[in-house]
Amino acid sequence: MIKVTIIGSGNVAQHLIKAFQKSEVSSTEVQLVQVFSRQVEKVIYLIDESKICTELSQLLEVDLYIIAVSDGAISEISQQIPHSNRLVVHVSGSVPLFALSNKNRKGVFYPLQTFTANKELDFSNVPICIETETEIDNHLLKKVAHSLSELVYEIDTVQRKALHIAAVFVNNFVNHLYKIGADICEENAVPFDILYPLIEETVNKIALLSPEKAQTGPAKRKDMATIESHLSFLENNNQKEIYQILTQSILANGKKL
């Protein structure tokens, strides 16, 4: 039995708590022993109160501590764990493994997904990127990861940073383009919903074709007349500038300019 404690009560922590509790039903190999949260009310609806602790000094000795707090607090929290030679991991895409304190064994457990408060998520479909310093820890962390998800990858710190940046492009920036699309619709009294089937099909296409082969549109077919007419239609300078730079990038086929 691998004993696990989650430190944190934010979005990722809450989704992890739910996922561990769900997996405990089917697996008898991993047990969620404790959750650390300074505010009991943030996790009380998720787990039995007896398992919640509000002081780091109350942390029981377990096999694995998962630190799910903001990037800036990871290092300090890892130093305050009152045990040693345990496996301590964080869940961040951008913090290196070595940011964790030396008093425990280090690792990373990065679930590559966007977590939304109050939106259910099937954790079995969340890719978990793990990194450890030893084979034994790798084995332990992989076992825990597989108790939650079918998608477990060994990813080192540099690759994880690359993935996090790629995730910013395909998630944060893509969502911002949806926002711009919604703004343009609103300004012209068109319901944004009309675009939803197109948005879905854009994603469906790259499950079959590479994004390079899936590319269509005025820039791809070098249709300068349409590009010019779009640019003169757009009145918002910010939208215009984003239209220009992405069009240029497609025209250059994403090559270094």
Of 76-84, 100-108, 131-139, 240-248: span binding its own copies (CB under 8 A): 240-248
Residue 92, both tokens? 């961040």
Task: Give the nearest distance from C-beta 75 to its own copies in angstroms.
Answer: 13
Give the integer Cα–Cα distance in Å for 29 and 85: 21
The residue (of 84 and 171) whose beta carbon lies closer to its own copies is 171
Applying CB under 8 A, which of residues 4, 46, 129, 145 lies at the interface with its own copies? 129
Give the integer Cα–Cα distance in Å for 256 and 252: 8
Residues 98-117 that bind its own copies (CB under 8 A): 112-114, 116
* Count of residues touching its own copies (by CB under 8 A): 96
Give the integer Cα–Cα distance in Å for 76 and 214: 45
Instruction: Sketch the per residue contact string, 50 through 89, with its own copies: x for CB under 8 A, - otherwise.
Output: ---------------------xx-----------------
Residue 252, both tokens? 């250059």
- Which long-range contacts link 85-92 to residues 24+ away (Cβ below 8 Å)? 86/61, 86/62, 87/63, 87/132, 87/137, 87/140, 87/141, 88/64, 89/64, 89/65, 89/130, 89/141, 90/66, 91/12, 91/16, 91/66, 91/67
Name the amino acid, one letter, at 245: I
Of 16-24, 43-51, 83-91, 242-250: span binding its own copies (CB under 8 A): 242-250
Residues 194-223 that bind its own copies (CB under 8 A): 194-203, 205-212, 214-220, 223
Of 39-47, 61-69, 79-87, 248-256: span binding its own copies (CB under 8 A): 248-256
